[in-house]
A = this chain, B = another copy of it.
Amino acid sequence: MTGRAAEPEVIWARPERTGRGPRPAYTRADIAAAAVRIADAEGLDAVSMRRVAAELGCGTMSLYNYVPRKEDLYELMVDAAGGEHELWEPRGDWRADMLRVAHRTRALMHRHPWLPRLMSPVYGFSPNALRYLEHCLACLDPLEAPYGTKLELVAMLNAVVTSFVANELATAERARSLPWSEEQENAMRGAYLGGRIATGAYPRMAAAFAEDPGPIDLEAVFERALGRVLDGFAPRR
């Protein structure tokens, strides 16, 4: 063995306590909670090893006893958020159950607006992610399809929900790091877009914007999107 720093590992496989040495002062849950608190209050970019350590009240480098790399801290955060997902006994209607899953996921992301950004496929197998996946599959028991198809359904639903919420939250989250307000940002991007469209170079875009001046009902758009995804998996008759 040359250097042991480069040994691959998943944080979930590493035991929280090994027996030897002093009792650790914090649990993984403590650390995740601290990081989540910071991200909720000040945005994901405020989550640094130093900041989390300060929140916990310990030295910066002590954190590295619990979390080998910053990426693992992110994994902890995603898993902690996933733990808030309350599951239920499926009622036998897979469509209704999956709609419920999607709505809860959206609500979760509204509560933790940094979630979409961390929703990398890599973090897909944390303990709570496994719980969540198993629950989705349970909801899909009534659907007659191979598990492969069911996994594709879950993946697609998650993709659509994540993308939708990311869109919803985009400017709001962006505004955190900008030296001007969200309203200014929106006004300015709107003005620019209007100018571009007014050139006549994008006739269909122009028509699209001219089409319906009514306010967009995000809830309806979301519901429609979910319905379409699920329709794609309904057994043909």
Contact with B along A140-152 (1 / 0, CB 8 A): 0100001110111
- Decide if B205 touches A152 in the complex (CB within 8 Å): no
CA–CA, A93 and B60, complex, Å: 59
Tell me which residues across on chain B come within 8 A of A16, comparing CB atoms.
Answer: none
A12–B233 touching, CB < 8 Å: no
Q: Please, which residues of chain B bring their CB within 8 A of the CB of A26?
A: none
Contacts A122-B171, A159-B163, A202-B130 given; indicate if A137 touches B232 (C-beta within 8 A).
no
Complexed CA–CA distance, A188 and B9 (Å): 7
Q: In the complex, A228→B159 CA distance in Å?
A: 14
A211 contacts partner chain B, Cβ-Cβ < 8 Å:
yes
Docked Cα-Cα span, A208 to B154, in Å, equals 13
**From B6, B192, B208, contact of A148 by CB (8 A):** B208
B193 and A125 contacting across the interface, CB-CB below 8 Å:
yes
Q: Map CB proximity to B onto A4-40 as digits: 1 under 8 Å, 0 otherwise.
A: 0111111011000000000000000000000000000
Which of A51-59, A81-89, A102-110, A177-185 participates in binding chain B? A177-185
**A212 and chain B: residue at smallest CB distance:** B148
Interface centre among A10, A212, A229, by most chain B C-beta atoms within 10 angstroms, is A10
A207 touches B147 (CB 8 A): yes
Nearest CB of chain B from residue A43's CB, rounded to whole Å: 14
B192–A10 touching, CB < 8 Å = yes
Contact: A204 with B137, CB < 8 Å? yes
Given A121-B167, A155-B163, A6 and B205 touching (CB < 8 A)?
no
Q: In A190-231, which residues have CB < 8 Å from any B CB? A: 192-193, 195-196, 201-205, 207-208, 211-212, 221, 224-225, 227-229, 231
CA distance A229 to B180 in the complex (A): 38
Interface residues of A (CB under 8 A from B): 5-10, 12-13, 120-122, 125, 127, 130, 133-134, 137-138, 141, 146-148, 150-152, 155-156, 158-160, 162-164, 166-167, 170-171, 174, 178-180, 184-185, 187-189, 192-193, 195-196, 201-205, 207-208, 211-212, 221, 224-225, 227-229, 231-233
